[in-house]
Structure formats: C-alpha cells, structure tokens
Structure 1
C-alpha cells in the first residue's frame, strides 16, 4: 500500500522546503520505504485528509494517519522494525528529543531571521497574506523589520551552530559513524535555509558545512536534487 507524505511548498511544487517535512523525507529513505510526496501550499493543508491537521508533515500509511515529524519517526520505527533504525534504541530516541529542542529553540530562530522574506517571496499571493499575518503575530514585528536585521542574523548563525560543530569534532554524524534521526532533525533545518535562501551562509570548510554535504549525499542524493 502506498505511503503518502503531505509536505509544504510555495508556488513551485518541486521545491518543498519545510524543515519538519525534510526530517520525514530523510527518515523514509533511511527506512528504505517507497512513498509519494504531495507538497501543499500553506492554505491547502486543511483541505486534505478531512482537515486532520493544520500543519505538515502528515503521513498516510494505509489506515494510519500520523502528524508531527517526531511522532512520524516513532511510528516508522514501530511499524517497520526490520528496516534500519532511526534511533538506535531508546537512548537514541531520548537524545533525539534533546536535538529537537536545540533545533527548534535555537537553530530555527536563527534561520527564521535570515529566511523570512525569502519564504514570503516563494508563495502565491493568498499564501503570502496568510504567512505575513501569522508570522507577524507570532514574532511581534513586521516582516520588513525582521528582514532589516538579516545581515546580523547571518553573522550570528555560526555561533548558534556551535553545539553541532562541537559534536562533529568527535564523529562524522550526530548518530555517530552513521546518521540517525538526530541528524535529520538538524539537516532539515539547514535544508530549509538552503532551499529558501540559496545558501547555508557558512564557509565551505566549516565542519557543519562538511557534515551537511555528507547528508546531501545520503540516500542517492535525494536532498541534493531540490534546490
């Protein structure tokens, strides 16, 4: 039975950009599962699966419907135990929660201040209106006010990634010698930055940049194909 992943795109459906959806794309490939990705615009999300979720990713696997990227990873681990593990055991799952918190509370904030206007410009007019209203309410500033600090946000990005850089001084992936879901959490964030702005805004010789390239090469380069 076909697995369907609902993800997020702008005007160009060939450029899905959500960090949370990229976590799941990489997790599905990690498990070796065949799936169909259906990118949706922001305002189209509530129209699928009888309005089951206002956000993506949403995964349909037969009778199972799962939302939230971490819950989807847990579901895949339980439903497909014979495929390569996403967590490497309960300890890895617990550690991935820490990585998720770091990504969402530190890395995503840094990227938002860089990419906000770029994301807005990728959207159709109806989605631009939704995006502007929702983000300005959430952040307490206009998109233009946030964009005025873009250069400072780019300059601050390396410091926000120092915990990842520290880990990579000991091992090639967050998961150790091979990637696990913790890698995909942070990869999703930087893939979001890369697709929306066209750059990582990091030096090529930065350990984070080198790790990101290793992730782009995973699973036959599926993530590299989207730019």
Structure 2
C-alpha cells in the first residue's frame, strides 16, 4: 500500500505549499511511491486526524507524521536501504541548519512580497483565510506588502548570497548530487514559481541555473507543475 501525503491545493489543482514540496522531493529522492491527498488551507478538519492543522502530513500504514523535517528524518530512519537524504550524521545536522536558514532568513523576506499573488490561486474561502493570516503576521495589507517589490526583492537576493557562492563552484548545495538542503531552498523558489508571475532572481544568477536543474530532477517532477506565468499564458 502506498504512503499518503496530504498537501495544500488551490484552484486548478495547483500544489502551492513549499513545505509539501520538500516532502514530495524527499519521497522522490528515496524512490518511494505515494498517493496524494489535496487539502484546502481553510479546512482544518481535514487534518484533525494528525493532531494538528498544517501540511504536509505523511501517512505510512499506522504511522502519521506531520511536518516536513519530521517526514525527512522519518524516511531516513525507516527506509535506510534507499538513497540517503543527508549522507551521514554530520551532513544531517548541516541539512537541518540549511532548512532553518531557509525558514528564518529566506522565507520571511520573500513571502510578504508575493503573498498578494497567492490569494489569486485559491478559492474565496481559502483566499480570505490566507489574507487574514498574512496580514496579521506581517502587520500590513497584502497590497502594501507587495508595493515597490521590484526594489525590495534586492533583500531576498542578498539573503540567498550564501547559496549563490556555493553554486558557483558545485552543481548542488549538497555537492555533486542534490539532497535535502537543496530541497529546502528549492521549495521556496518552486512556491514562488507556482503562485506568482514575479521573477525573484536576476538574469545570470547561478541560483537560476540550479533552479532549472532542480526542476528537471525525478523526470521533471517539479517542472510538470506549470508556473503561474505559464498558466496565465495558457
């Protein structure tokens, strides 16, 4: 029986949760087939079985694992015969550091600039729910948060400077092959790609070339989900 991954879905089935993308890629890395269950962000009851109200949630038989990092460590510990998400104990600690860096230094800079675009990707109930969450968290309207984002995006580009420095010398953040640190940062760029027509990277940025390589992983898993710009053109 396949594992089941619960993740957010918006209009036209867009899978816009960056944290669910970390788990999607971790499962693909391990070569584990999954069944997907779409959840509306405003439907807290759908996740009540997990004892909390956030995605992703992985169900593996009788085991229920919420949280993308917990899912990654669960997969590593319970499926050690499959490709490692980390490499060894030292690399696992570094992957945890990378995930925390993304969550604390990268996400807070980019999400406010694109939040106004997220609400256009979901239905009315979810849009109201997300607008309330974002505006409460950031203390401004979504429109105010997006104002002047062409200038304010420079802070995001500075925030990812450590990744840029690494990617000038190696194909992936984890070295010759991608691993969980790559999935953590890529999840933010995949989220941006899916929810917004706004391009957060400058032309020629090494992070952009890396993003293209990440989109091609696992037979184009991430690329198979059309970008917001592509959906608009279609």
Question: TM-score band, normalised by the shorter chain?
Answer: over 0.9
Tell me which residue corresponds to 2:127: 128
> Residue 113 of structure 1 contacts residue 153 of structure 1 at CA under 8 Å; is this kept in 2?
no
Structure 2 residue aligned with 1:11: 11
| CA RMSD after TM alignment | 1.4
- The TM-score, its normalising length taken from structure 1, stands at 0.94
What corresponds to 1:209 in structure 2?
208
8 A Cα contact 2:39 2:46, kept in partner: no
CA contact (8 A) 1:46 1:53 kept: no
TM-score using structure 2 length:
0.92
Question: Residues 204 and 210 of structure 1 are in contact (CA less than 8 Å); yes or no, is this contact kept in structure 2?
Answer: no
Q: Contact (CA 8 Å) 1:113, 1:149: kept in 2 or not? A: no
1:86 aligns with 2:109: no
**Aligned counterpart, 2:158:** 159
Partner residue in 2 for 1:74: 73
State the secondary structure of the residue aligned to 1:42. coil
> Runs of 5+ in structure 2 lacking a partner?
227-234
SS in 2 for 1:5: strand
> Residue by residue, what CA displacement relative to the aligned partner does 1:2-51 show, whole Å, maximum 9, x if unpaired?
200011121222x1011111000000000000001122110124323535
Q: Work out whether residues 112 and 142 of structure 2, in 8 Å CA contact, stay in contact via their aligned partners in 1.
A: no
Q: Deviations over 1:89-128 (max 9, x none)?
A: 1111100111112111121122212210100111211111
Query: Gaps spanning 5+ residues in structure 1: where?
Result: none
1:102 is matched with which residue? 101
Question: How far does residue 203 in structure 1 lie from its aligned partner after superposition?
Answer: 3.1
CA distance in 1, matches of 2:139, 2:71: 31
Matches within 5 A, 1:1-227: 1-13=1-13, 15-48=14-47, 50=49, 52-227=51-226
8 Å CA contact 1:11–1:41 kept in 2: the answer is: no
Q: CA deviation at 1:87?
A: 0.5
Alpha-carbon distance, 1:58 to partner: 0.3
The secondary structure found in structure 1 opposite 2:70 is helix
User: By how many angstroms is 1:143 displaced?
Assistant: 1.3
